Amino acid sequence: MKVEKTALPGVVIIEPRVFKDERGFFLETFRACDYNVLLEPGQAFVQDNHSHSKLGVLRGLHLQTRKPQGKLVRVVRGEIFDVAVDVDPSSSNFGRWFGITLTAENQKQLYIPPGMAHGFQVLSNLADVEYKCTDYYDPDGESGLIWNDPDVGIDWPLERANLAEKDQQLPTLASLSAAQDTIRNTGSKKA
């Protein structure tokens, strides 16, 4: 497999080896000994998710605060624009984003490390997206970032987005950062 770094540290594009002939294709979509080199020591992929969505659906930008999840994303049908955003206020890349078009045809995958916001917009009539996570979903640690925050300025391919009600209520980067600062400061006072 080929691993390509992006402008955001830890976010990488993966191109697995695809064997094609007139009958179709074959590829390994995951092999622990190859993919685990992307993870921090002690991390492993523990949960698989499958999302089925229609044209224009935008899922995200999601983030787990108590049990941050690294995600390995791939498309098995259709096409999406996949995005990672650095939401760590102490990072030199705070507020920066990276986006890539993932398709069933190009077979590319994107790895997003724990602690980043993640989302995608469906560009085809239907899309099936599968992704592995490095921690289990924690409903009490669910957070995120509003998809159209002007301070982040993501250049989404489609101007209109079909969002879940909860995703319409996600905070801006400034609000998210202020909440993280409050949690850090409260935590340090208890120590």
Distance CA 75, CA 71 (A): 13
Distance CA 145, CA 166 (A): 11
178 DSSP 8-state letter: H
Distance CA 164, CA 171 (A): 14
Q: Which of 50, 52, 62, 118 is catalytic?
A: 62
Active site annotation includes 52 = no
Could you check whether the bond before residue 126 is cis, i.e. omega within 30 degrees of 0? no
End-to-end CA distance of the chain: 45
Token match 């996600």: residue? 170
Residue 82 Cα to chain centre, angstroms: 7
Q: Which of 50, 52, 131, 136 is catalytic?
A: 131
Active site annotation includes 118 = no
Q: Which residues are catalytic?
A: 62, 131
